Structure 1
Amino acid sequence: MSELNETKSTFETLEVWKKARELRKEISKLTKALPSDERFRLADQMIRASRSVTANIAEGHGRYHFQENIQFCRQARGSLYEVLDHLTVALDENYISEEEFNILKTKIFVVIKILNGYISYLKKRKGME
């Protein structure tokens, strides 16, 4: 059996990463519908911010130190708020409807809630060291 298969879990088993991945896919799909003149402006920023969320959760998980993991999760949380701000730009520019905005905003806050729970869990585990 390979060493990787013997590992208890990877970041891919984290519920927060799974939800963030779903959000990332939705943001990617949305950006494809933006006007071409936003391709290297708003679309690029939205894609980068949404990818930063899953990347930071993954990197933090790989650090094996609770405090480092917490810091990467905080960065992921900041990126979620960045995605929300980019969505408000898309709304203000009439690239998305109020309904689309509200659906994605709700999904962002679901990920934030799960991420905050994960951060709390890591803080408790850190205290157990």
Structure 2
Amino acid sequence: MSFKFEELKVWQRALDFSVKIHELTLYFPKDELYVLTSQIKRAADSIVLNIAEGSTGQTNPEFNKFLSYALRSGIEVVACLHIAKKRNLIADANFTVLYSELEIIIKMIQALRKTINS
């Protein structure tokens, strides 16, 4: 048995991205554990979770609301990546890769929102 969200490319990509964020935070210093580490992991996971929660057994307007939450979480991750970069916790090259991946995910969420709203 599979759930509707498991078939969504945006959910699959967001899930892979959340793993990349988890792996990134393994190298953050301990003093960031309850600050930036927690925040960026929760925001990345929230993208995945909101896509899943909104997709199953919901109306299109309800799904759109959850996609909006996922989109906002994505923007939160962008801000966290900038903070990590400013604090020298992430190399420029790694920042660029993660930022680019997140841009794609955000565009996919926006496209899905357009599709269900039309």
Query: When the two structures are superposed, what TM-score results if normalisation uses the length of structure 2?
Result: 0.96
Q: Aligned equivalents of 2:58 and 2:113: distance in 1?
A: 14
Give the counterpart of 2:46 among 49, 52, 56. 52
Give the counterpart of 2:89 among 86, 89, 95. 95
Q: CA deviation at 1:63?
A: 3.7
Percent identical? 31
The residue that corresponds to 2:110 in the other structure is 116
Q: CA deviation at 1:37?
A: 0.6
The residue that corresponds to 1:127 in the other structure is none
Letter in 2 for 1:120: K
1:1-16 equivalent positions in 2, closer than 5 A: 5=1, 9-16=3-10
Q: CA deviation at 1:104?
A: 0.5
Letter in 1 for 2:110: N
**Bigger radius of gyration, 1 or 2?**
1
2:79 paired with 1:81? no
Letter in 1 for 2:23: K
Q: Aligned equivalents of 2:57 and 2:105: distance in 1?
A: 21
Q: CA deviation at 1:98?
A: 1.1
* Unmatched runs of 5 consecutive residues or more in structure 2: none
Q: Aligned equivalents of 1:108 and 1:60: distance in 2?
A: 20
Q: CA deviation at 1:34?
A: 0.2
* Unmatched runs of 5 consecutive residues or more in structure 1: 125-129
Q: CA deviation at 1:40?
A: 1.0
Moved over 2 A (4+): none
Give the counterpart of 1:31 among 1, 25, 48. 25
Query: When the two structures are superposed, what TM-score results if normalisation uses the length of structure 1?
Result: 0.88
Q: Aligned pairs, how many?
A: 118
